[in-house]
Amino acid sequence: MTRRHSRSEPIFNSGLTLLIALLASTAIAQNAQPKPPANAPVNFMAPQPASASEQANFPAQLVEELGAIKEAALADDYAYREVTHLTENIGPRLAGSAQAKAAVEYVAGELRQLGLEVHLDEVKVPHWVRGAETAELTEHVNSR
């Protein structure tokens, strides 16, 4: 008597084989990469080689250009100066506040100075505005 195979058996076997292969390759890859000590400081200024994922998913020229942009950004204090200006001169920026509007205008102006075309859209942000508060004591608990 011959045994009949269901249609799902080959797919199941292929899927199981694929799953085992993926798990094995993940385990091998984890063991192959040396792990730095947990408390070792990371040197963000040092050039980092492109990861295997970057090499596989992005053109080499793009990875090289992005690395150059990163190195230039880390070598310059422009971003820190901008954040310093925002925090020291404009202050807290709650949604809908005058400071938020000032920060948006400031950043748009800075981007224009860098030669970028900037367009600001009208945005309506619901926000609370402090008004005049009054209170009146109408009855004291011990006066009854």
pLDDT of 97 reads 85
Q: How far apart are CA 64 and CA 21, in angstroms?
A: 32
Structure tokens at 70: 């990163």
134 against 142, higher pLDDT? 134
Residue 83 lies in a domain: yes
Does residue 79 form part of some domain?
yes
6 within a domain of the structure (yes/no): no
Residue 29 lies in a domain: no
Show the tokens assigned to 8.
């799902």
- Number of independent structural domains in the chain: 1
3-class DSSP state of 136: coil
Does residue 47 carry a pLDDT above 70? no
Model confidence pLDDT, tens digit, residues 75-109: 889 888 988 998 999 888 888 888 989 999 999 99
Domain range for 95: 60-114
Q: What percent of the chain has pLDDT over 90?
A: 17
Spatial contact of 106 and 90, defined as CB atoms under 8 Å apart? yes
Residues with Cβ within 8 Å of residue 144, at least 6 apart in sequence: none
- Does position 64 have pLDDT exceeding 70, yes or no? yes
DSSP codes, 36-65: PPTTPPP-TTSPPPPPHHHHHHS-HHHHHH
pTM of the model: 0.46
Q: Does 128 fall in a domain?
A: no
